[in-house]
Amino acid sequence: MTADSISVLIFLVGDKSFCLEIDVIDHVISACAISPVPDTKSSIEGIINVRGRIMPVVNMGSKCFSKPIPLALSDKFIIITIEKRYLALHVTDTLEILTLKKTAITEPDTILPGLSVISGIIQYAQELSLLYNPRKFFRNEFMEASEEEPQEANHGTALEIN
């Protein structure tokens, strides 16, 4: 990759393609069981444990279309990391990694000014794919995780009952 190009991962949500820059992607895993968590945003399906790290799962169907995609064994979780925080993105499939010249990416402000959650639009397989700006697109999910109340540890102190 050179200074005038970027690499992106193309993924499917349903039958629609989207993409993320590789620099925020840690790895991709096969879908697994999700533990539900009450009182979370509608895009949060629950939590999973990946290699000893517990992280929220974002249903990209809810995030992109306001309609969750059902969990299937063939689905994938894209594990992203932003500022040492992890999210698992539930997607239908991952397709390929593309390296593109930056000139091949349409700036979203030329089409929809002020759309900060999108950092570009690319042509892929005869359709348009949105290149998400993950720091802005997942801002609410990261904010929700940071607003959770800290849990106090119980260190086996004795309770005194009068």
In percent, the amount of the chain with pLDDT more than 70 equals 88
Q: Within 10 A of 68 (CB to CB), how many other CB atoms are there?
A: 15
Per-residue pLDDT reduced to its tens digit, 125-144: 889 999 999 999 998 887 76
CATH at residue 93: 2.40.50.180
User: Residue 145: its pLDDT value, please?
Assistant: 55
Q: Is there a domain that residue 140 lies in?
A: yes
The domain total for the chain is 1
Q: Is there a domain that residue 136 lies in?
A: yes
For 108, phi then psi, to 5°, come to -65, -30
Q: Is there a domain that residue 88 lies in?
A: yes
Q: Is there a domain that residue 93 lies in?
A: yes
Q: Is 50 exceeded by the pLDDT of residue 150?
A: no
For 140, phi then psi, to 5°, come to -65, -40
Range of the domain at 136: 5-146
